[in-house]
Amino acid sequence: MRRPPLMSEGVCKRRRTSTFRTEPQKTSGTTINCIVNASITVVGSGVYVFGGFHQYTGEVYNEVYTMRLDDLVWKQVYVKGEPPSKRSDHTASLWRGDRLVIFGGTDEVDAYCNDVVILNFATHSWERPTVSGFIPNGKNKHSAVIHNDRLYIVGGCSFSGTSSLMHCLDLNTMEWQEPVPFEAVYSHFSWVYEDRLYVYGGYNNDMDRLMEISVLDLKTYETYKILIKGETAPVLAGQHFAQFSNNKLIVILTQCLKHGSSEIQTGVYSLDMQTLQWTNSCAGNWLEVGNWYYFAMEEERSHFHLFGTIDIDSDEYLGSVLTLDLPQYGLFSIPNASIASDFGSLFEEKTLTDFEVISADENSPTIPVHRVVLLARWPHFANIHKSGMNETLSQSMKINEPYQTVKEFIRYLYTDKLDTLPVETVARLMVLGNMYFLPRLQKLCARVLYHSIDIDNVARVYRHAVLAQDPGLKRKALEFIFKNYGLVVRSEGFRTMPQEALLDLWDHVPSSAEILIPQSLEEFLEKPLDE
Helix segments in 356-490, DSSP class H: 371-377, 379-387, 390-394, 403-415, 423-435, 439-450, 458-467, 471-483, 485-488
Phi, psi of 521 (to 5 degrees): -60, -45
* Residue 240 in domain: yes
| DSSP bridge pairs for 199 | 190, 214
> Can you give the CATH number for the domain in which 394 is found?
3.30.710.10
Identify whether residues 445 and 303 lie together within a single domain: no
Same domain, 282 and 355: no
Cα angle at 182 between 38 and 206, to 5 degrees? 65
pLDDT by residue for the chain (531 residues), tens only, comes to: 444 443 333 333 333 333 344 788 999 999 888 999 999 999 999 999 999 999 999 999 999 999 999 999 999 999 999 999 999 999 999 999 999 999 999 999 999 999 999 999 999 999 999 999 999 999 999 999 999 999 999 999 999 999 999 999 999 999 999 999 999 999 999 999 999 999 999 999 999 999 899 999 998 999 999 998 888 899 888 889 999 998 899 999 988 876 445 567 788 999 999 899 999 887 656 677 788 999 999 877 789 999 999 887 888 899 999 999 998 888 887 766 656 567 888 888 888 999 999 999 999 999 999 999 999 999 999 998 888 787 777 889 999 999 999 999 999 999 998 989 999 999 999 999 999 999 999 999 999 999 899 999 999 999 999 999 999 999 999 999 999 998 999 999 999 999 988 898 988 888 887 777 666 666 666 666 555
Asked if residue 304 and residue 432 are part of one domain, the reply reads no
User: Are 459 and 494 within one domain?
Assistant: yes
pLDDT of residue 305: 95
Q: Residue 9 domain-assigned?
A: no
Host domain of residue 487: 338-508
> 513 in a domain, yes or no?
no
- Please report whether residue 182 resides in a domain: yes
Are the beta carbons of 202 and 210 closer than 8 angstroms?
yes
Say which CATH number the domain at 183 has.
2.120.10.80
Instruction: Confirm whether 11 is domain-assigned.
Output: no
Question: Could you give the number of structural domains in the chain?
Answer: 2
Together in a domain, 291 and 364: no
Tell me the one-letter amino acid at 144: A
Question: In terms of domains, do 239 and 257 share one?
Answer: yes
What is the reported pTM? Answer: 0.72
pLDDT at residue 520, rounded to an integer? 62
Torsion, CA 511, CA 516, CA 517, CA 521, rounded to 10 = -10
What's the chain's Rg over C-alpha atoms? 27
Do 174 and 279 lie in a common domain? Answer: yes
Whether 312 and 346 map to the same domain: the answer is: no
Of 277, 298, 329, the one marking the end of a domain is 329
The residues that bridge with 176 in the sheet, in sequence order, are: 133, 169
Classify residue 16: in a domain, yes or no. no
Where is the domain boundary, 275, 304, 329?
329
Residue 28 lies in a domain: yes
Collapsing DSSP states into helix, strand and coil, what is residue 501? helix
- C-alpha of 406 from chain center: 32
Residue 310 shares a structural domain with residue 420: no
| Residues pairing with 213 in the sheet | 226
Helix (H) or strand (E) run with residue 343 in it: helix 343-349
- Do 409 and 288 share a structural domain? no
Of 298, 329, 360, which residue sits at a domain end?
Answer: 329
Domain presence at residue 95: yes
Count of Cβ atoms closer than 10 Å to residue 179 Cβ: 16
Same domain, 62 and 202: yes
Q: Are residues 449 and 319 in the same domain?
A: no
Answer whether 289's CB lies under 8 Å from 310's CB.
yes
Tell me, what amino acid is at 197?
Answer: L
Amino acid 261: pLDDT:
52
Contacts of 405 (CB under 8 A, 6+ apart): 359, 425, 428, 429, 432
Please state, in angstroms and rounded to a whole number, the distance separating the CA atoms of residues 60 and 143: 20
